[in-house]
Amino acid sequence: MRPVYLIGFMGSGKSSVGKMCAGQLSVPFIDTDTLVEQKAQQSISDIFAEQGEDRFRDIETAVLQNISREPSIIATGGGIVERERNQKIMDENGVVIYLHADFATIANRLQVDSSRPLWNQDLQKRHALYEQRLPVYRRWGQHVIETDDKGLEETVQTIMNVIKQV
Ligand code: S3P
């Protein structure tokens, strides 16, 4: 099994379903946001506030580059698609699965969330960011999973089926 990278907008369920898939497969679950925070020794909000988004993206790419190529499930940050280089890293090393959720679903899940600086802005900006990234997620995803009409278990099962086939 090659590493599986889950991509998608904030709140698309990458971490929750990723943990469950990793558990079922008995492989490590890796979260790029956690690795960024460990590397920077700061929370994501503080990195954005004190060092800026560009620096956050630099750390994120460094982290992605250094993740082991052993079998694992990797939840990436929603903005992983902001740097072209990240696509190359993921394509070369593993399977990229896009978890799609409609904006309304995401807005409903996240509501008020102060831990995500790019969600913590006005509705128009959040929506514009979503619209801007949507085609990129669809392009980068080697497999696309529609999650709106699925519960957690069903999404996990769909991912497991994809993994079994690759
Ligand atoms: C971001 C998504 C977050 C985190 C950071 C930036 C983004 O990850 O990396 O707040 O640009 O969409 P999640 O997708 O896990 O929330």
Task: Tell me the helix, strand and coil percentages in the chain, rounded to 5.
Answer: 60, 10, 30
pLDDT, tens only, 72-109: 999 999 999 999 999 999 999 999 999 999 999 999 99
pLDDT score for 60: 98
Distance 149 CA to ligand 1 centre (A): 23
pLDDT by residue (tens digit) across 40-54? Answer: 999 999 999 999 999
What is the per-residue pLDDT across 1-54, written as a single tens digit (0 to 9) for each?
A: 999 999 999 999 999 999 999 999 999 999 999 999 999 999 999 999 999 999
Pocket of ligand 1, beta carbon within 6 A: 10, 14, 33, 44, 77-79, 116-118
C-alpha of 49 from chain center: 21
Sign of CA dihedral 144, 142, 65, 119: negative
